[in-house]
Structure 1
Amino acid sequence: MQALPRILAAMALALAPASVAWADPSPAGHDHAGHDHAVEVAYGRPGDPAKGGRVVQVVMKETDSGMAFAPERIEVAKGEQVQFVLRNGGELDHELVIGTVEANRVHAEAMASHPNMAREDPNAKRLGPKTSGVLRWQFTQAGTFEYACLIPGHREAGMVGTVVVK
């Protein structure tokens, strides 16, 4: 039941009015509002909707001990495009943000100050409760990256996963 206060705080934040627009600070913490979102970053580039790609289903949910993604780890080949078919099976908004650990840390800190930021980033998808969506991403560099829910309190409650690109 330790997760209950975090879940209740996240619910209160989710119900607060949205008032701030957001531009993703990644890569390296800079604001790329107005930049071409097709630009490649360390963890890849937006997927091409015309090319399909391997389907990876990811469920976002609250659990008895916190919050989680299922699966918590995926492996992909360098250059592979993935269609993340996302389903929010929970009662709260959740999101999946692909990035480096550092980029997601910086982004999470910004969201803590502005929890209801409205934004559209090619490496992220936010879903309301009991909804689904698709996020396409091509992993162009080998390495270990992550996907996380950066809504305040969610990452801390366990909503983080690993992408290993070989």
Structure 2
Amino acid sequence: MAIKASRFKLAALAVLLSGSAALAGPGAAGHSHGHDTAYGKPGDPKKPARTISVVMSERDGKMVFIPDRIEVRRGEHVKFALRNNGELDHELVLATLEENLKHAIEMQKNPDMEHDDPNAKRLAPKKTGEIVWQFTKAGEFDFSCLIPGHREAGMTGKIIVK
């Protein structure tokens, strides 16, 4: 009986650890850890970058990014100066639309997931932060708040790289 209980505990621990690694890693969650992705790569904070201010807030029953549409040039380094003017935690996760939608499903399962990735930043109310990014490929990309319910409440935006 004790052997079965020990095996069960080990199996349960293995499942928990493998699930945590999958949620935190760069795979399906769409995170980048210094690798070039479909939407670019982490920018060099020491290089000149265009600063784009992005405000996160709740307004008229919706959750919003201001602006929610951004245009950049391919190869451009951008520093997103983030400010949460809302009353709730918000985050900005930069990825392809497909990756953010997949990540949103993972966030539903683990709503307190913290991001330690160069393409994502979570902010408490009235706090600021930044993301420095280089857009290496042309296309249309997504930024969203993936805290459960926030994207659905309108907290999404588009980046067009020309």
CA distance in 2, matches of 1:93, 1:120: 16
1:119-130 correspondence runs (5 A): 119-130=115-126
Decide whether aligned partners of structure 1 residues 155 and 161 sit closer, same or farther in structure 2, where only a CA change above 3 A counts. Answer: same
Decide whether aligned partners of structure 1 residues 104 and 48 sit closer, same or farther in structure 2, where only a CA change above 3 A counts. Answer: same
Task: Verify the 8 A CA contact 1:147 1:163 in the aligned structure 2.
Answer: yes
SS in 2 for 1:51: coil
CA distance in 1, matches of 2:104, 2:25: 10
Decide whether aligned partners of structure 1 residues 68 and 140 sit closer, same or farther in structure 2, where only a CA change above 3 A counts. Answer: same
1:14-163 correspondence runs (5 A): 22-26=23-27, 29=28, 37-163=33-159
CA distance in 1, matches of 2:81, 2:93: 13
Task: Verify the 8 A CA contact 2:30 2:95 in the aligned structure 1.
Answer: no
| Structure 1 spans left out of the alignment, 5+ residues | 1-19
Task: Verify the 8 A CA contact 1:25 1:103 in the aligned structure 2.
Answer: no
| % identical equivalent positions | 56
CA distance in 2, matches of 1:97, 1:24: 14
Q: CA deviation at 1:25?
A: 4.5
Greater than 6 Å deviation, 4+ residue runs: none
TM-score w.r.t. structure 2 length?
A: 0.82
CA deviations over 1:20-77 (Å, ceiling 9, x no partner): 6742455xx2787xxx811100000001011130000000000113100000101000
SS in 1 for 2:46: helix
Task: Verify the 8 A CA contact 1:84 1:135 in the aligned structure 2.
Answer: yes
Decide whether aligned partners of structure 1 residues 144 and 24 sit closer, same or farther in structure 2, where only a CA change above 3 A counts. Answer: farther
Task: Verify the 8 A CA contact 1:149 1:160 in the aligned structure 2.
Answer: yes
Deviates more, 1:81-90 or 1:115-124: 115-124
Alignment partner of 2:161 out of 135, 159, 165: 165
Computing the radius of gyration from Cα coordinates, the structure with the larger value is 2
CA distance in 2, matches of 1:48, 1:71: 23
Task: Verify the 8 A CA contact 2:30 2:103 in the aligned structure 1.
Answer: no
Task: State how many pairs are aligned.
Answer: 142
More helix per residue: 1 or 2?
2
SS in 2 for 1:49: coil
Q: CA RMSD in A?
A: 1.8
Match of 1:17 in 2: none
Query: Counterpart of 2:96 in structure 1: which amino acid?
Result: T
